[in-house]
Amino acid sequence: MSAKSVYEQQLQNQLNEWNKQISDLKKKADHASDFDAKAEFNGQVEQIHALQQTANKNLKELQGAPEISWDYLKKDIEIVWRKLEIAIKNLTSFFE
């Protein structure tokens, strides 16, 4: 398995895990009784959704990139993924 393939699989696995976490958090928000908390949560979810779309786009670009030139995408991908990771951690801490 090539380094690119391994990296793609790691990104896909992480994205799947984040999608599950977000789904679980949405369930918690649905049961929250505080209107302000729900509004704050929904605002954060919108930001995360935009980052998820960018992350998915980046992953598709990576999957379509030739083996010899995929490394140039890595820096941009890692910036978006780090932002997404932070946003999800912030959202998770919202319910702690």
Q: Name the nearest CA neighbour of 52 among 25, 90, 87, 92.
A: 87
Q: How would you class 3 by CB atoms within 10 Å of its CB: exposed for 0-12, middle for 13-18, buried for 19 or more? A: exposed
Every domain of the chain and the residues it spans: 3-94
Identify the pLDDT of residue 70. 82
Cβ(28)–Cβ(95) below 8 Å: yes
Q: How high is the pLDDT of residue 37?
A: 73
User: Closest Cα to residue 26, out of 44, 4, 8?
Assistant: 44
What pLDDT sits at residue 33?
A: 73
The structure's pTM equals 0.80
pLDDT in tens, the chain (96 residues): 889 999 999 999 999 998 898 888 878 777 777 777 777 787 888 888 899 899 999 999 999 989 888 888 888 899 999 999 999 998 888 767
